[in-house]
């Protein structure tokens, strides 16, 4: 089965592929394999809205099962920011370093006990059909907290400053093997695969 990931984000692509590694019947593709598909602006106000928009738009160009995710970090002390703006929190084309610096700066007077946060991931599934296009959306959440400083070299995005609940290390310290079992994206993708296979 061909499964197209509606993303150009190399970190997400690698993560999806690793999570799906035991599904040998799934031929994972991404937008890197379809360079003629135009870029999609994430203009919706929710993770689910952005995920649906991306999956639907990409599925119009290819006749294959398509999934798209939108995910981000929600920090309680910042009233849920950066949220859907996670990738652009420090401006358009922000680097991971700039994003992390902005978050830590905004939290510099926030005590450890109040640095609770979560990663949230919405994944939309589009299954094209000659009768009716099927659209499903699921959501995965990973609770945790934001650290006082950057720690670890693995992962991408906000991984170096997020410690998942029940652990003492950041996602960037834990590495992909553990992260891809407990993360927001792993939980959501597990639900999506159940829908695909049902």
For 64-112, write each residue's pLDDT tens digit. 899 999 999 999 999 999 999 999 999 988 999 999 999 999 999 999 9
Q: Which of 70, 76, 112, 159 is catalytic?
A: 70
Q: How far apart, in whole angstroms, are the C-alpha atoms of residue 102 and residue 81?
A: 11
Q: How far apart, in whole angstroms, are the C-alpha atoms of residue 41 and residue 43?
A: 6
Residue 4, Cβ neighbours under 10 Å: how many? 25
pLDDT at 130 exceeding the cut of 60: no
Fold annotation for 2-197: Maf protein (3.90.950)
Distances (CA, A) of 192 to 35, 44, 69, 131: 25, 21, 11, 21
Interacting residues of 45 by C-beta distance below 8 A, sequence separation 6+: 84
Distance of CA 94 to the CA centre of its chain: 16
For 19-65, write each residue's pLDDT tens digit. 888 877 788 999 999 999 988 888 899 999 999 999 999 998 988 89
pLDDT at 175 exceeding the cut of 60: yes
Q: Is 159 a catalytic residue?
A: no
Q: How many CA atoms lie within 13 A of 73 on its CB side?
A: 31
Residue 144, Cβ neighbours under 10 Å: how many? 21
- pTM, whole model, 2 decimals? 0.91
């Amino acid at each position: 089965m061909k499964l197209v990931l509606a993303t150009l984000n190399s970190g997400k692509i690698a993560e999806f592929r690793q999570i799906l590694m035991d599904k040998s019947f799934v031929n994972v593709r991404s937008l890197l394999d379809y360079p003629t598909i135009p870029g999609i602006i994430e203009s919706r106000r929710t993770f689910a809205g952005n995920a649906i928009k991306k999956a639907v738009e990409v599925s119009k160009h290819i006749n294959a099962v398509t999934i798209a995710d939108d995910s981000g970090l929600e920090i309680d002390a910042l009233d849920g920011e950066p949220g859907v703006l996670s990738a652009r929190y420090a401006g358009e084309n922000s680097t991971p370093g700039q994003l992390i610096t902005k978050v830590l700066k905004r939290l510099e007077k926030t005590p450890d006990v109040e640095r609770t946060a979560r990663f949230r991931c919405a994944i939309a599934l589009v299954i094209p059909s000659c009768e009716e296009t099927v659209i499903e959306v699921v959501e995965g959440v990973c609770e945790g907290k934001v650290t006082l400083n950057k720690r670890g070299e693995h992962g991408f995005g906000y991984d170096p400053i997020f410690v998942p609940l029940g652990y003492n290390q950041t996602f960037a310290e834990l590495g992909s093997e553990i992260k891809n079992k407990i993360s927001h994206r792993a939980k959501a993708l597990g639900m999506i695969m159940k829908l695909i296979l049902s």
